[in-house]
Amino acid sequence: KKGYVMRKCCTDPNGKKTPFGRRGWKMFYCTLRDLVLYLHKDEHGFRRSQMSDNLHNAIRIHHALATKATDYTKKQHVFRLQTADQAEYLFQTSDSKELCSWVETINFV
């Protein structure tokens, strides 16, 4: 699965709150492959540099959980991703269909 999403970091992989200044929403071209969510700057970055593009922006989703972020009311079509290493992110998708598709894909791969 692939597509554009907005991402907000809430909790860093150590379980500590992401510091102010790094908590903003940012757009990425997101691809899911082999239990890793790769966040590319855009489609071009995805095609050109494949896996080497922003390796630190890769999120391992083995034992991760995606849920609709019904408690987050500032934006629509947002899901929360909690990873095995205790990081937490919010992802905004384009519509409710995309939201369900991302959540199901992440949880059932």
Residues that bind ligand I3P (CB under 6 A): 20-25, 74
- Which residue has the CB atom at the shortest distance from ligand I3P? 24
Q: Between 8 and 40, name the residue whose CB sits nearer to ligand I3P.
A: 8
Q: Between 26 and 63, name the residue whose CB sits nearer to ligand I3P.
A: 26
Determine the Cα–Cα distance for residues 91 and 70; give it in Å rounded to an integer: 12
Q: Between 31 and 93, name the residue whose CB sits nearer to ligand I3P.
A: 93
Determine the Cα–Cα distance for residues 69 and 92; give it in Å rounded to an integer: 10
Count of CB atoms situated within 10 Å of the CB of 70: 9
Q: How far is the CB of 23 from ligand I3P (least distance, A)?
A: 3
